[in-house]
């Protein structure tokens, strides 16, 4: 599978990126589109998704609320039909701590202070959303003979940091979900991997006006090289890996994986 088609006999890879209108999702959708992939990116606002997609070569914008089963089914069906299949799903749509505590970086709150509705909203989006989209895409990939799923995650410290309920538990759950998905899909031709930036990243999830002094951030573009590589022929057979974007080149060298960072 190539990220771009250099031969007239080979079609561009077709990728569905959830939560692709900003942050990490937009960075990955942009990198994939620039590499020649056909990308369908989603957002809760169909109008915004279409506007963002219009800025990327060959991209499509589709409305999708990952918390809603009917919305997921409709969006996946639309993406599959318009792209002519889905070779890769990038499960990325999520919401962060700002939804329950806008000043979580400087004024963390105990888990007992988190409103139940806020807890449910984050879990429904970041964990149940991954499940619902993968559940809809996977049978299609199996019937087509293969595919790739990349679940976006976060650093280990986020999973146990004080004041990070419910975001930490939601991402811990998505990590477990990803590993079980990989086990369930072993030897089926559908490969599942985790990808994370490797540190705090400049996205809309961070309150940049209330960040402690000395804290530095990665740029979303750090996700570009590994996601493009994961869509390429070099990643054929790569399965059940946890890839840290900030250490991607080292990861390739240590595993003697064929190919080099795009």
Which residues, 6 or more positions from 142, have their beta carbon under 8 angstroms from its beta carbon?
A: 188, 189, 190
Pick from 44, 66, 252: nearest CA to 170: 66
Give strand ranges (E) for the chain. Answer: 14-17, 38-43, 60-63, 88-91, 147-152, 190-196, 242-244
Which residues, 6 or more positions from 197, have their beta carbon under 8 angstroms from its beta carbon?
A: 24, 154, 155, 218, 220, 222, 223, 244, 245, 246
- Which three-class secondary structure state does DSSP give residue 124? helix
Catalytic residue positions? 167
Backbone angles phi, psi at 88, to 5 degrees: -140, 135
Tokens of 26: 């937009």
Beta carbons within 10 angstroms of residue 55's beta carbon: 11
Cis peptide before 166 (omega within 30 of 0): yes
Pick from 37, 93, 23: nearest CA to 62: 93
Burial class (CB in 10 A: 0-12, 13-18, 19+), 14: buried
């Amino acid at each position: 599978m190539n990220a771009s088609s250099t031969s007239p006999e080979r079609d561009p890879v077709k990728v569905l990126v959830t939560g692709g209108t900003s942050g990490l999702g937009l960075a990955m959708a942009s990198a994939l589109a620039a590499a020649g992939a056909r990308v369908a990116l989603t957002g809760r606002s169909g109008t915004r998704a279409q506007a963002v997609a219009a800025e990327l070569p060959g991209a499509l914008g589709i409305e999708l609320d990952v918390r809603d089963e009917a919305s997921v089914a409709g969006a996946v069906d639309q993406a599959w039909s318009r792209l002519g299949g889905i070779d890769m799903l990038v499960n990325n749509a999520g919401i962060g701590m700002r939804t329950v505590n806008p000043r979580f970086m400087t004024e963390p709150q105990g888990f007992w202070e988190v409103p139940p509705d806020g807890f449910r909203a984050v879990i429904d989006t970041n964990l149940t959303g991954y499940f619902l989209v993968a559940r809809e895409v996977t049978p299609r990939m199996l019937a087509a003979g293969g595919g790739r799923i990349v679940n976006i995650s976060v650093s280990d410290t986020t999973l146990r940091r004080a004041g990070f309920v419910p975001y930490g538990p939601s991402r811990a759950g998505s990590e477990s979900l990803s590993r079980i998905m990989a086990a369930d899909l072993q030897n089926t031709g559908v490969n599942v991997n985790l990808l994370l930036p490797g540190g705090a990243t400049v996205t809309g999830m961070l309150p940049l006006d209330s960040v402690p002094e000395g804290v530095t951030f990665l740029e979303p573009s750090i996700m570009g090289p590994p996601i493009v590589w994961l869509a390429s022929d070099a990643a054929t057979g790569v399965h059940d890996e946890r890839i840290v974007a900030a250490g991607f080149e080292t990861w390739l060298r240590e595993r003697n994986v064929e190919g080099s960072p795009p």
